[in-house]
A and B are shown apart, each in its own frame.
Chain A
């Protein structure tokens, strides 16, 4: 069994590595995107101020808090103090405000925008309010968006790289030829997963380390934990691609289905912007996508230095998704083009 898996794994690797246009695209695309984002958002500044409101059990009366009507300020609800403090420290929030008694606010003394947000607050606030300070370096947009771009590239590579290839194999009769050998569906699928996993993880690691070196992007966590996140994420995305391609015989249909899977993830999984300000149902809906878990875990490791325990739930979720996708993919797998 292992021999057969290795034979297909090796052949697929050779095919991928000798296809220079595809290989080049997989490496060049994320680099170009990261450099472009770095150029466009290099300063890390956003035009608006963002103030976090610590979750209140009662609805906030806007009329009694004129600060909440200040123009050019985005107010976002923050679930807990720890999360709010972390965002203040990373300059993701300019100010954190607690309106319940005793009223308090926290600001980062190193943040210029925090300074102006504090002035605006004190000018409009009547009465006593306690001040707290939380220090920390700012996270540039490029630091934040880097995991998103790498995750997006991984998603395209896994879904299209596996889905399209399998549909092409099926359409041109190569799968039918393999069917006539002792190879089993699950062996073929494992070989495809292993091959794409190795290639995607290697390319993603190469691009990540390259951008980290050249752009000096932030990294707080463990490379090993990040690798585990990448492996879990790639496995889930490859398995998803296999499931989508399990029975499809038309490249056009496969393209449509793969786009149907990738575009919602592009928008809702937090590739380009955070969903923290989005409605709760949107955040819940986004959790059905593997990429959402990949990005939240990767950002936790890269930006917050989260360890295996902190990102364990996301990794387990990704492996559980992989098992479901692989099981269904193997059960519904079709060799024959007709």
Chain B
């Protein structure tokens, strides 16, 4: 599988702020690559440098073995985090306008079907709901039949149902062979959609790999959670790492059966007990020391 996009030592310096600090990574063709990080981590700046809309202070971006140029502009689809469209144009007119800007063209009706915009074709852009608008912005990003598509926090502000519908759409796009670069601060989104992720904080990539690799490398245990009020005895003899926060006790263990047997004598009941695997949110917290939505 060849390399679709490569960032080489990207740096972006704003007055008094180093937004992107020597960031390098490669994105293989056909995968969904996620860039995760809290607000202000530098992920949007990184992605905008790669898209060619923000000049880098240093570094280079390569697209299929050549520096980004007109070929990249013809073949890339982009959905920004915040994009206004032209007022008074309908959905169909907006798609027509953007498609005319490209030499590569997708079948517009297929895109309209795929993004469920059939009933909205004649509606003024300004009268779309949040979910409808996100679908239109994704459709705009698809008008040139892109080989590579950037999705910058595409589900921010959507209700849970609209988010799930959007994920289905992204899965279908990836299944068609399009390379996707996705930024998000929703861990469930990254875990479901991304084949590979890079976690950013303070302008740097602090970890990179598949979600499974990253979690396996960091964690060999599972977590047992108990409400503090359910504990009656002293847990210090458990020989496990125990964290207490917000009324919940977390016990990290590699042997769930043995730990549960030990716990049985020291708790009032197990109705409030939960057993879970460590997830990307835990990973981020451990790597950076602060929450993803901070």
Contact = CB atoms under 8 A, between A and B. Distances in A.
Contact of A336 (B53, B70, B88, B140): B53
Contacts of A173: 80, 82-84
A274 interface: no
B181 interface: no
A310 interface: no
Q: Report the contact-size class of chain B (Cβ under 8 Å from the partner).
A: 20 to 34
Interface string A256-271: 0000000000000000
Nearest to B102: A182
Nearest to B84: A172
A65 interface: no
Contacts of A57: none
Interface stretch (B92-100, B167-175, B186-194, B217-225): B92-100
Contact of A180 (B51, B89, B97): B51
Nearest to A10: B97
A169 B73 CA distance: 20
A14 interface: yes
B100 A4 contact: yes
A189 to B, nearest CB: 15
Contacts of B26: none
Contacts of B78: 177, 180
* Residue in B51, B70, B88 with the greatest tally of chain A CB atoms within 10 Å: B88
A168 B140 CA distance: 20
* Residue in B88, B93, B101, B103 with the greatest tally of chain A CB atoms within 10 Å: B101
B76 to A, nearest CB: 7
B44 to A, nearest CB: 11
A17 to B, nearest CB: 8
Contact of A174 (B51, B54, B86, B93): B86
Contacts of A288: none
A71 interface: no
Interface in A1-51: 3-4, 6-8, 10-12, 14-15, 18-19
Given A176-B53, A180-B73, A7 B86 contact: no
Nearest to A337: B82
B52 A180 contact: yes
Nearest to B71: A182
A11 B85 CA distance: 11
Given A174-B85, A180-B78, A11 B97 contact: yes
A7 B101 contact: yes
B83 A174 contact: yes
Contacts of A180: 51-53, 73, 76, 78, 80
Nearest to B101: A181
Interface residues of A, number: 27
Contact of A11 (B51, B70, B74, B93): B93
Contact of B88 (A6, A19, A172, A182): A19
Contacts of B102: 181-182
A177 B88 contact: no
A183 interface: yes
B89 A14 contact: yes
Contacts of B88: 14-15, 18-19
B87 interface: yes
Interface in A294-338: 335-336, 338
A179 interface: yes
B97 A7 contact: yes
B80 A177 contact: yes
Interface in A172-227: 172-174, 176-183
Contacts of B140: 177
B270 to A, nearest CB: 52
A309 to B, nearest CB: 42
Contacts of A178: 101
A262 to B, nearest CB: 24
A182 B70 contact: yes
Nearest to A4: B101
Contacts of A14: 88-89, 93
A285 B100 CA distance: 45
A6 B84 contact: no
B83 A176 contact: yes
A176 B80 contact: yes
Contacts of A18: 88
Contacts of A336: 53-54
Nearest to B77: A180
B5 to A, nearest CB: 14
B101 A183 contact: yes
A338 B17 CA distance: 14
A170 to B, nearest CB: 10
Nearest to B141: A180
Contacts of B83: 173-174, 176-177
A23 to B, nearest CB: 11
A182 B73 CA distance: 5
Contacts of A7: 96-98, 100-101
8 closest A-B pairs by beta carbon, nearest first, are A172-B84, A7-B100, A18-B88, A181-B101, A180-B78, A182-B73, A11-B97, A15-B88
Interface of A: 3-4, 6-8, 10-12, 14-15, 18-19, 169, 172-174, 176-183, 335-336, 338
14 contacts: A3-B101, A7-B101, A14-B88, A14-B89, A15-B89, A18-B88, A169-B84, A174-B85, A176-B53, A177-B83, A180-B76, A182-B73, A182-B102, A182-B103
Given A15-B89, A173-B83, 5 more contacts: A4-B101, A7-B98, A181-B73, A182-B74, A336-B53
